[in-house]
Amino acid sequence: MVLITLKLRKEVRKLEKMARRRKAKFEFNSLLREHGVDRHSRWLDVKRRIEDDPRYRAVESSAVREDYFKDFTRSLKVKDDRRKEKDKEKNGKKEKEKKDKKIKKVNEKSGTDEKQPTPPPEQWADIIGRRVSFSIPQEEPQPEILSPKRLRSSRFPSPAVQVKPRVTKTAIKIMDRRKNRTNGELSPSVRAATRKKKTEKE
């Protein structure tokens, strides 16, 4: 008999303790709501604001308080996510309704209830009332531009494309050296290139 009463007392104490914890958690959450805690709040900042309140002290330890705070911010995050999803659904429905209204207005103006399918291109000429040609203009083939080195190569036959030699400062120095070697006589192509370069400088 004594054992039964002791067990009953232990169970009653456990239940009372659980009830106190639930009440403390509920009051702690209401305290957090009153102080405007949102899902982005930090525990250290919130702790400084609410540590003087008796509902803060009603919770057993600081670790439990922090756990309650984390649970509270998680629940706020879930609520925010659900609210955002609902808003997206509502906005999607509203946009769809607006599009449907616009389509109905356009169809009412044109006198048709449904959107007509696009006819095949062969029937376009009959619809427009004149003959339409569907030939696609072809681009003229452009001649291949080859570098002077590739032109000199024995693998490639010389094409009909003329490649203009680039005259640079180093090319002019080389020409001057050749000029000195051959007693001042230059080939016609070198003379033309040097004249062109001199006229560009002037």
Q: How far is CA 164 from the centre of its chain?
A: 46
Cα-based distances in Å from 129 to 58, 111, 120, 125, 133: 88, 22, 15, 6, 13
One domain for residues 102 and 14: yes
One domain for residues 32 and 101: yes
Axis crossing angle, helix 2-34 with helix 43-50, rounded to the nearest 10 = 100
Domain assignment of residue 158, yes or no? no
One domain for residues 101 and 8: yes
Of 108, 125, 157, at which residue does a domain stop? 108
Per-residue pLDDT of the chain (202 residues; tens, 9 = 90+): 666 788 888 888 888 888 888 888 888 888 888 888 888 888 888 888 888 888 888 888 888 888 999 898 988 888 888 888 888 888 888 888 888 888 887 777 765 555 667 878 777 767 776 554 555 556 666 666 666 666 666 555 555 555 555 667 777 777 777 666 655 566 666 677 777 777 776 6
Domain membership of residue 90 as a residue range: 2-108
One domain for residues 179 and 101: no
Domain assignment of residue 35, yes or no? yes
Model pTM greater than 0.75? no
One domain for residues 171 and 103: no
CB 25 within 8 A of CB 70: no
Domain assignment of residue 30, yes or no? yes
Nearest in space to 68 (alpha carbons), one of 33, 93, 19, 109? 33
Which pair of tokens denotes residue 185? 């006589």
Domain assignment of residue 194, yes or no? yes
pLDDT at position 170: 75
Domain assignment of residue 23, yes or no? yes
CB 102 within 8 A of CB 109: no
CB 39 within 8 A of CB 79: no
pLDDT at position 35: 87
Domain assignment of residue 121, yes or no? no
- Supply the CATH number for residue 65's domain: 1.10.10.440
pLDDT at position 120: 80
Name residues whose C-beta falls within 8 Å of residue 76's C-beta, 6 or more positions apart in sequence: 37, 38, 39
pLDDT at position 167: 64
pLDDT at position 144: 63
Of 59, 86, 108, at which residue does a domain stop? 108
The Cβ of residue 192 has, within 10 Å, a number of other Cβ atoms equal to 13
CB 29 within 8 A of CB 56: no
Domain assignment of residue 188, yes or no? yes
**Would you mind telling me the total number of residues written for the chain in this entry?**
202
Query: CA-CA distance, 56 to 36, in Å (whole number)?
Result: 15
pLDDT at position 110: 66
Domain assignment of residue 15, yes or no? yes
State the greatest distance between any 2 C-alpha atoms of the chain, in Å, as a whole number: 136
One domain for residues 19 and 87: yes
Structural domains of the chain, count: 2
